[in-house]
Amino acid sequence: MSTGRFAGKVVLVTGAGSGIGRATAVAFAKEGADLVLCDVNEATLDEAAAAVRAQGRSVLTRKVDVSSAAAMQSFADEVHASFPAVDVLVNNAGVAVTGGLRDTTLEDWNWVMGINVMGVVHGCHFFVPRMIERGRGGHVVNIASAAGLAGSRLLVAYSTTKFAVVGFSESLRADLRRHRIGVTAICPGFIRTNINEAGRRRGRWAEPAAVERSRRLMERGASPELVAEKILNAVERDQGLVPVTKEAHLIYALKRSSPALLAAVWRRLEAWQAPEL
C-alpha cells in the first residue's frame, strides 16, 4: 500500500520530460501518487517515467503537443479509459520567446500563445469536467512565471502569455470553488531549466553576448525541485498564487507597493542583458 501525502491520487503533468515538470512528477511519486505524463520529447519523457517508476509508482506516458486540441482530446480519452478522472492536473508545458514587439514575428506569437496559453486551456478543458463529474474535488496547478506578475520589454510575448495564465487561474479558482477544486498559479523566478535553450531569442537579445549573460543568470537560479516542493505544498494548502524564489517574491511585492521601483529594477536587468539597447 502506498504512503505519503498524495497516496492513492492520480496526478497529470504536462511538459514532464525535463525541468520543473520532471521534478514535479518525481516529487508527487515520492508522496505516493501515480502519474500520467506527457511531453513532445519522447526520449526525455521516458527518462521521467523511469524516475517515477524508481519511486515504486505506476506511470502512463504519451507524446502530446498541448497546443493541439485534437491531440489533447485523444490524450484525455486514453487517460479516462484508465481513470475516471485525475486528482491533480499540473499544466506545466511552456516555452519562451525573448524580444520586443518589433522583433517578435506573428509565427512566434502563435507558437508561444499556443503552448503557454492554449496548452493550459486545453488541459483544463479536457480534464477538469471529469473532475467535476466525479464529485470528489481535486486541484489544478498552472505554471505561470514572475514574468506574469510584471511586464518587461525583454519578454513581451512571454510576459503576455504568463499574465494570461495568472488571470485565467484567478478566474478558474472562483469558478471551480463550488466543486471543491482548487486552482493555483505558480510563479517561478529564475530556475535552472532548459527553457532558454529550447526557446526563441530575437533581435539584439539573440546576440552571443546577451545569450551568454542569460545563460549565466539561469545557472545561478533555483532548482526545479524547489518549484516542485512549492507545488505540492500549494495543492495541500489550496493556495491561489505562489511566487517562487526571492526575485519572484520581490517582483510581487514591488508590483503592489512601488511600481516605479520595480520598473527601475527591470531596466537594470534589461541593460545588463543587452547593454547596447
Among 158, 168, 190, 266, the active-site one is: 158
Instruction: Count CA atoms within 13 Å of residue 1 on its CB side.
Output: 1
Locate the DSSP E strands across 132-217: 138-143, 181-187, 200-201
Could you tell me the three cell numbers for 88?
A: 491533480
Give the end-to-end CA distance of the chain in Å, rounded to a whole number: 59
Residue 160 CA to residue 143 CA, distance in Å, equals: 14
Question: Is 158 designated active site?
Answer: yes
Whose cell is 474535488? That residue is 137
**Measuring CA to CA, how many Å separate 95 from each of 19, 131, 194, 274?**
12, 27, 10, 21
Instruction: Count CA atoms within 13 Å of residue 215 on its CB side.
Output: 9
- Closest among 234, 228, 220 to 22, alpha carbons compared: 228
Assign 3-state DSSP to the chain and report helix, strand, coil percentages, each to 5.
55, 15, 30
Could you tell me the three cell numbers for 58?
A: 505506476
Phi, psi at 187, each rounded to 5°: -120, 85
Burial (CB < 10 A; 0-12, 13-18, 19+), residue 54, is exposed
244: helix, strand or coil = coil
By annotation, the residues acting in catalysis are 158
